[in-house]
Structure 1
Amino acid sequence: MGKIHDAISPQHAEFIAVQPVFFVATAAASTEQRVNVSPRAPGKSCVVTGPHQVAVADLSGSGCETAAHVLENGRLTLLFVNLLEGPPQMLRLHGYAKLKLPEEVDDALLARFPEKITSSPGFRCVYILNVDRVSTSCGYSMPEMSLERFRTILDEKSEQTDMHAYRTLKNCYSIDGIPSLMLLRLKDTVGPKPQNGYIYSTPLGTFDLAAKAKAQKRLQQIETSNARDFTNSRRPEKISLPPPTRSTFPVDPLSFFLGVLFCFVCHSFIASFSPE
């Protein structure tokens, strides 16, 4: 049975820490763009920093949907599910997040994450989630599984790959073209380049003034977002929706034209019977 809690309890913190995997859900502000859910591991990469706040350390991946959505509107939900031995339970944390680059995170907070994460070349950011809803539910339909091991492939690839170049290519834009975290570093030096179902970055020429202007607008959008305002933890008063891409004309143009034509014909017909 579902239950709402006033705050994140010590028991919830223990539950989070022992989970081998958890899930992060975000969505673009526009309904014409996509919703995203991503796995994260382990549970210790999410630490409870207060009764209404958690912090999540994030490693590099081939996408950057979570960062793009957080920078756009801040909304973020975490889901923890007990798939190991023990009582079935699911924990959801809803709220609004801030995004900090590694060098912006306090040393005391960094020390609470596994060193394997914070010392990795793939470490790209920390999400500070200000939680406004804590809920648990039964999870009776979830399977009970056993954990064999954590894969080491990501660690190995991070050591062998130029992670700055990798993130430059793949972590500038969401799949919908929403500006993401690497633009905080690259500023207005790159633009979007659709390729293979993703939107990668491409260097901008010094004299490509039109593209530079668009890049500066994208940069301003994320630099002034609520997710980059570290002075307060309040929920945004309003989520700014982008202008609709479809026509907002209230009536189909053809129907409108035919309606006007019909009125004109009717008026002419009636006028023909009027006395001179």
Structure 2
Amino acid sequence: YVSSEKFINQFQDHSRNNAINDFIHFYQLIDVLIIDDVQFFNRAEKSQDAFFAIFNHLHQSGKQLVLSSDKPPKDLDGLQERLLSRFRWGLSADLQMPDYDTRIEILDRKMRNDGLDMPREVVKYVSYNINSNIRELEGALISLLAQSSLNKREIDLDLAKKVLRNFVKTSSKEITIDTIQKMVCEFFDVPYDKLLQKTRKREIVQARQISMYLAKAFTKNSLKTIGEHFGGRDHTTVIHSCQTVKDLMDTDSLFKENVMELQQKVQLAAM
């Protein structure tokens, strides 16, 4: 594994020492070459020439190459077309930032591997608030453990909030009806505009009812205002929806589990 910047620096060092052939030969002996951030090759024309020779040799020898960049090959500016054409030979995969559930799973696995244990509410709080990348998620975990050890203090939600101030901008956030609607739509994979339309599709109706229930529980809006945010429905519809959600939570364990998970998400968003 090597970053493109390190590759470029290595090439320049060998170039100054008239040892470019040694540099290329070293990389041609590798079985699997992983290069990160190849978009930075755009500022190093001669490094591209060296990498082209390395790429060809490894590919023809049946070796493996894994390349990453912040954009697909067609959008990489400043790279030689002969390199871009070779990049297109392989499988391109669009890697997105991990979602909330995946971040929880990553933290759980990290803790299992390191023999660590943390309260569930702390794991959820960290996973919700660190949503940029995995390095930052792991950094938050390390900082939390360090603070716990240095201060001889058990890890709890208060300590997590204190530590995460160094990672994210924290402020007491007022939850809006719009925020809740978007959370519910994302959770159930329902289009936002469908939530406001007149439809009797079961999955849409339930998402709307749960949204109204959460809006009543977590916002200071009146029933009339909540109804207006759902396509101009009146307050009696909101009352009926809230009662329906309560009844279903008493009889349907999966439904109750979904609502409780959404409640936790809303609570985390407000912290």
Q: Which interval holds the TM-score relative to the shorter structure?
A: under 0.3
Higher relative contact order (CA 8 A, sep 6+): 1
Select the structure that is richer in helix.
2
Which of 1 and 2 has greater Rg?
A: 2
Select the structure that is richer in strand.
1
Normalised by the length of structure 1, the TM-score is 0.20
Normalised by the length of structure 2, the TM-score is 0.20
